Chain A
């Protein structure tokens, strides 16, 4: 977490200059269920990438390469939409 600012240091009206700030808020800590991606089962249909409400399915050149656990909130939508059960939700145990 960045250091908390005092009231005198805040921009007027609670404005956040510089636009979008979601990258600063690492929401991975919210997760209680962790998606585990199985590279061998994956057919790279990208349904998980399309449905992820965050931006946590990592892809490269049209192929899934993994999951961004820094931001994944563990909602499980990816596992639900996967047509070949290549993503499994497991209880989060706090590692990484």
Chain B
């Protein structure tokens, strides 16, 4: 049944239906209502989750690590400075191969302090070893939270999964969301089967041991294997979920009117929704433009992106954060995918929307217009006062 709700509520609903054993969370704008909704569910006895009201995000992720190693299904949520504070333990959670699912309400990192959306917090965790998925809408945030659980817990993956949703734009605005029935979600996520749970006292195990130069390298290579297993698992889970929900999730990204496109935009998150409007408007005028909206950012689907974009003449890759001292991180991902390809588009990088700066349909139409004459490799800005 269709309902209206905020992105917060959509994420909290998915969490309620999954009903993890432990949620350790610390409130931070623009994530707070996720924590508040879930605390209310616990207080009302709607879920039987152990809610750990920690004193910081560092402790939140530490509690998640401990609980997950003990054998619990664990979820959390944070944003911006909260992720920055917990990042030490995010790396550890990934290295310990703990399937913790986390909603990240994307917000600009300080400084200057700002509470509004950009992707600098996600970029901070780019190399943490977690799977990154970006949602375009509240509906997608809900759907990905449920799919993330299965991807994270697959025996070949066993990695934290971060579901990114744009702060305020998605977390606070009310959208139409169609949740699945509780029982369908419970059946879909199934029962969590932990590996070497610490609470299995008959089979003791040592977690988080010190690794010297003789083993550290091998352990990190084994961690990379978890990432390498993601694409196959992701596609399986996505196919199963699409059948269950009737919503057609297919592939690592959404290719929107891209098949015969001459110019295209690549973007992550809610701005893809704005870009679709612009693509439709320009298509109505006969312009061959398209959009590639990235769902799966890490691991990055290089080969599939090459297939989807190689016929396009000019591509604007939009980064909602600086990668200071270089081009944007998504731009580097996309362009490096083409490094050994003879047939490739000309690429331009745009930095946009920092600290919650609005990105309008007019501006994205302007990007498509500028692409006609822009120099390949240019670093440009959307909506910046020059």
Contacts and interface: CB of A to CB of B under 8 A. Distances in A.
Given A14-B95, A14-B96, A20 B218 contact: no
Interface in A1-25: 4-8, 10-21
Contacts of A12: 97, 158, 195-196, 222, 226
Interface in B219-248: 219, 221-222, 225-226
B203 interface: yes
Contacts of B207: 13-15
A13 B98 contact: yes
A10 B203 contact: no
A6 to B, nearest CB: 7
Interface residues of A, number: 17
A12 B204 CA distance: 15
B326 interface: no
Given A7-B218, A7-B221, A8-B222, A14 B209 contact: yes
Contacts of B196: 11-12, 15, 17
Given A13-B96, A14-B96, A19 B206 contact: yes
Contacts, number: 61
B204 A13 contact: no
Nearest to A14: B219
Interface in B275-323: none
Nearest to B211: A14
Given A7-B218, A12-B222, A15-B196, A20 B206 contact: yes
Contact of B218 (A10, A15, A16, A18): A10
B208 interface: yes
Nearest to B214: A4
Contact of B205 (A4, A6, A19): A19
Interface string A72-91: 00000000000000000000
A17 B205 contact: yes
A94 to B, nearest CB: 22
Contacts of B218: 5-7, 10
Contacts of A14: 95-96, 207-209, 211, 215, 219
Contacts of B217: 7
B97 A13 contact: yes
Interface in B85-104: 95-98
A7 B217 CA distance: 8
Contacts of A19: 204-206
B211 A15 contact: no
Contact of B203 (A4, A6, A17, A20): A17
Contact of B222 (A7, A18, A20): A7
A12 B225 CA distance: 10
Contacts of B195: 12-13, 15
Nearest to B204: A19
Interface string A17-51: 11111000000000000000000000000000000
Contacts of B98: 13
Interface of B: 95-98, 158, 195-196, 203-209, 211, 214-215, 217-219, 221-222, 225-226
Interface of A: 4-8, 10-21
11 contacts: A7-B219, A12-B226, A13-B207, A14-B96, A14-B207, A14-B209, A15-B196, A16-B205, A17-B205, A18-B204, A19-B204
Given A14-B207, A15-B195, 6 more contacts: A13-B95, A14-B95, A14-B211, A15-B207, A17-B203, A21-B206
